[in-house]
Amino acid sequence: MNAAPKQPAPLAFGPPPETIQFWKRLVREALSLSPATPLYVFSSAPIAKRISELDAALIAAGFKSEIKNLKSQIGFRHWLSCKTQPVALLLRWWRAQGRGIEVVSEFELRAALAEGFAPEHILINGPAKHHWLPQFDLPELSVNFDSRAELDALLPLAKKLNWRLGIRLLTKEEFDPEHPQFPTQFGFAPDEAVAALNKLLRANARIETVHFHLRSNLPSAQSYERAIVEVAEICRAAKFSPRHLDLGGGVPAPQIRTRSGKVYDGQFGLDAFAQRLRQAAKLFPGLREIWLENGRFISSSSGVLVVKILDVKGRRGLRHLICDGGRTLNALMSVWEQHALIPLPERSGAQILTAVCGPTCMAFDQLARLALPRALRAGDHLIWLDAGAYHLPWETRFSHGHAAVCWQDETGLRLARERQRFENWWSDWK
């Protein structure tokens, strides 16, 4: 006879009470606009808060956010990672702040242009862009080359259109996190990078930037320090002094844990990060700006996923809540991340080990397995926090349509996208 699963304690982490109340209030309002779930709700307020926190740490370390009339101070600049949360209203809000956008595909570039970003405020990263970027006759773009093939194919166009150029470097700090013995597929290896920089310098191209992008959720700022030292050595070997040091990814999102319960940002302090950047920046004579593309850190806490409980089952000591959204459709991140869940309405009383499942025909479709109130019932909603980074772009249509999306900023809450109807779901086919 199978033993009943061990009963867990309630999650020992979670957002502060004011965050819980913020999302409860916003979700109630969103459900009045779009009662159909699953539903994503996004807000600019947490993004502004994260930017403010990072700005404060960088300024305290001696950086300056504006580059005008600087002589001794190095500035910093934030770029919106479009891929992290590709919501049109976010792009409009960000552009209104006077900031630039980072894109990695043809569709993202078209989205940035459609939302009014000028070419000089667009930074282009990503691999194999020489297969789609030549169709755009856009001057003053910022473009980081990812390979020798890109450089060879795009250099004539870059010179013609006066692009602000950079190269992406593959440092020893970038590797497959599941198989650390293997490097990733991105950027120039050190010997390739020196040759590429020499070619750009000989061609009198507008080469101004070196770029690297570390993996997500770094446990320590020391990874940045080691990578920057390596990049500085490459620049010295090429006799190149960059104006911009472009740092992608890495800074972990707060409040999120691994599936085993480890805190991602437990050893990563923003103040220590900023201080390490300030010291490392001294390795680059002539450096004027640090560029930051912290998509996950900036966006993660800005969104939630709202699902409704459709059915309740109990089997062998485990309670299953069958919901209208879940991992397969809406939250691939739940494979390796554990996020806080808020019942709506609030339910108290005894708790029981509970699997929160989506509506698809896959055992994989499990948003969480944790202790939840036994009083939860069909018709209740669950709010899955920290769904602002990469959840929407990884959304699927596994026998269901895309979810509705609500967006809130200083102008109020709006329905940004309706839930997909069958006609739209099936109309792609000829």
Distance CA 56, CA 59 (A): 5
Count of C-beta atoms within a 10 Å radius of residue 249: 21
Distance CA 112, CA 142 (A): 13
Residue 356, beta-bridge partner list: 321, 368
Residue with tokens 């602002």: 388
Nearest to residue 305, comparing CAs of 387, 212, 242? 387
pLDDT of 3 > 70? The answer is no
Whether residue 301 contacts residue 22, with contact meaning beta carbons closer than 8 Å, is answered with no
Distance CA 248, CA 213 (A): 4
User: Which residues are within 8 A (CB) of 275 and not within 5 positions of it... i.e. 6 or more apart?
Assistant: 61
Whether residue 128 contacts residue 176, with contact meaning beta carbons closer than 8 Å, is answered with no
Distance CA 421, CA 430 (A): 18
Secondary structure of 160-206 as H, E, C letters: HHCCEEEEEECCCCCECCCCCCCECCCCECHHHHHHHHHHHHHCCCC
Indicate the class that CATH gives domain 17-43+301-426: mainly beta
Query: Angle CA(277)–CA(280)–CA(282) in degrees, nearest 5?
Result: 115
Measured CA distances, 18 to 15, 21, 22, 24, 46 (Å) = 8, 5, 6, 10, 12
Question: Both tokens of residue 364?
Answer: 């994989």
- Could you give the residue range(s) of every CATH 2.40.37.10 domain in the chain? 17-43+301-426
Across residues 184-201, what is the average pLDDT?
95
pLDDT of 79 > 90? The answer is yes
pTM above 0.85, yes or no: yes
Question: Both tokens of residue 20?
Answer: 């819980």
pLDDT of 161 > 90? The answer is yes
The CATH architecture to which 74-293 belongs is Alpha-Beta Barrel (3.20)
- Determine the pLDDT at residue 68: 53
Please, what is the average pLDDT of the chain?
92
Measured CA distances, 357 to 200, 326, 330 (Å) = 53, 6, 11
Distance CA 130, CA 145 (A): 9
Per-residue pLDDT of 97-110, as tens digits, reads: 999 999 999 999 99
Per-residue pLDDT of 196-224, as tens digits, reads: 999 999 999 999 999 999 877 888 888 88
- Could you give the residue range(s) of every CATH 3.20.20.10 domain in the chain? 74-293
Whether residue 403 contacts residue 37, with contact meaning beta carbons closer than 8 Å, is answered with yes
Per-residue pLDDT of 15-71, as tens digits, reads: 889 999 999 999 999 999 999 999 999 999 999 999 999 999 999 999 987 545 455
Helices 270-281, 222-237: crossing angle, 10 deg rounding: 10
Q: What percent of the chain is predicted at pLDDT more than 90? A: 80
Residue 207, beta-bridge partner list: 165
- Determine the pLDDT at residue 8: 42
